[in-house]
Amino acid sequence: MRGRAALRLLRHEMAQAAALARWITRRPPHGAGSGDTAVSYASAQAAVMWVMTFVSLLETVVLALIIPWPLVHLVLLVLGIWGTLFGVELHAASVTRPHLVGADGSLRVRYGVLLDIAVPADRVGAVRLDPRFPGGKQLVIDEDGTTSLNVAGQTNVTVDLTGPVPFARPLGAPAEARTTLRFYADDPRAAIDALTRARDAAA
């Protein structure tokens, strides 16, 4: 079990490195096909993530200046650089892996490389603007079957599901969105319009 978790973390790290390369080279969003619409969500958390990255970088520099022991200095330097890089990669993954509205009316709700909930077109029911500020954990699965993917402690789009949608939690454990899916979009009205248009066109 621990080996599987470690392997999945390694895959996440490799995928985040690939996302950073995609972001730097300004390639199209990951997984977007012809006719798909990308729905960004990274703006709400960008300021916090850049502050955390800057603090990590500053901490690395300060520790490098004040710690006299070479081995400790090296270990902390490596950890500091990795922490800074991780923050940049996490943001890059959020930018390059947006939510996707499929040309067929399907929906992919994502968070970087950590989460990917693929909702087939026939499982998408009513869609509405629904701002909520639950705070707390990023992924919340309620007993009533509601699944919420919070960004910066908020969601603003609610999708009623016509059937259960299986997905994998960040470390691979199976989960299921049964009745409702809530997520955050930088422009929720545009996201709802795109999904409505795609469903109407596919009908």
Q: Which of 143, 102, 139 is nearest to 120 (CA)?
A: 102
Better pLDDT: 191 or 48: 191
The confidence score (pLDDT) of residue 70 equals: 79
The confidence score (pLDDT) of residue 84 equals: 82
Better pLDDT: 155 or 83: 155
The confidence score (pLDDT) of residue 2 equals: 64
Q: Is 117 strand, coil or helix?
A: strand
pLDDT (tens digit per residue) in 103-113: 999 999 999 99
**What predicted TM-score, i.e. pTM, was given to this entire model?**
0.85
The confidence score (pLDDT) of residue 3 equals: 66
pLDDT at 1 over 60: no
Pairing of β 146-149 and β 139-141: antiparallel
For the segment 8-17, the average pLDDT, to the nearest whole number, is 83
Better pLDDT: 76 or 194: 194
Pairing of β 155-161 and β 124-132: antiparallel
User: Residue 9 and residue 82: Cα distance in Å, rounded?
Assistant: 14
The confidence score (pLDDT) of residue 10 equals: 79
User: Residue 183 and residue 87: Cα distance in Å, rounded?
Assistant: 22
Provide CB contacts within 8 A for 113, sequence distance 6+: 12, 15, 16, 19, 93, 97
| 76, HSE (Cβ side, Cα atoms, 13 Å) | 18
Question: With bands split at pLDDT 50, 70 and 90, how would you rate the model's confidence at 79?
Answer: confident
